[in-house]
Amino acid sequence: MSAARQLLADGLSPTVEDAATKAAISRTTAYRYFATQRALLLAAHPEVRPGTSLLPADAPSDPVARLELVMREFTRITVEWEPQLRAQLRLSLEPGAGQPELRQGRAIGWIEEALSPLGGTHPGIDIHALAVSIRSATGIESLVWLTDVGGLDRAAASATMTRSALAILRAAMEP
């Protein structure tokens, strides 16, 4: 998997044979673990444990400040793991592929955690629906568009995604 991740980071879409060569193991051994290129690319997904919080232990109670912290970390992860996430996105777009099992919506949970104080201060807001709205303007899909189509560098794209997330939150909080 480490070899596949490195090849992805180098801009390649590695086959099982490519990863085996890079890892200096036999093809037979590689195929024992990864029967297809799809299985290999799914396994190369970023290692972010489910249930992991993106908020620090001393997170503020203000939902805007909390979301800003989460978005900084989420965009950092997205940029850091961009090659693997692009591979996941490609896999999810293959005809008949459905959603790869690793596209589990962890970001929505991270965003919901940031927004959780709204339950007490803005009980009329559907936190899950708001998190989905924010997620629609962030992540690998937005990074791809902002960099490949919009022409932004990764830092500017990250800042744009964070600003968009905060704007959606502020609009939802308006009376």
DSSP per residue, the chain: -HHHHHHHHTT----HHHHHHHHT--HHHHHHH-SSHHHHHHHTS----TT--SS-TT--S-HHHHHHHHHHHHHHHHHHTHHHHHHHHHHHHSTT----TT---HHHHHHHHHHTTHHHH-TTS-HHHHHHHHHHTSSHHHHHIIIIIS---HHHHHHHHHHHHHHHHHHHH--
Instruction: pLDDT band for 24, please (50, 70, 90 cuts).
Output: confident
- Across the range 50-71, mean pLDDT stands at 91
Residue 19's nearest CA partner among 32, 163, 37 is 37
- Across the range 50-70, mean pLDDT stands at 91
- Across the range 37-56, mean pLDDT stands at 72
What does the pLDDT look like over 94-111, one tens digit per residue?
776 555 554 556 899 999
pLDDT at res. 30: 84
Half-sphere exposure of 40 (CA within 13 A, CB side): 25
* Mean residue pLDDT across the chain: 86
Q: Indicate whether 67 pLDDT > 90.
A: yes
Instruction: pLDDT band for 50, please (50, 70, 90 cuts).
Output: very low
- Name which residue leads in pLDDT, 175 or 131: 131
- Across the range 45-72, mean pLDDT stands at 85
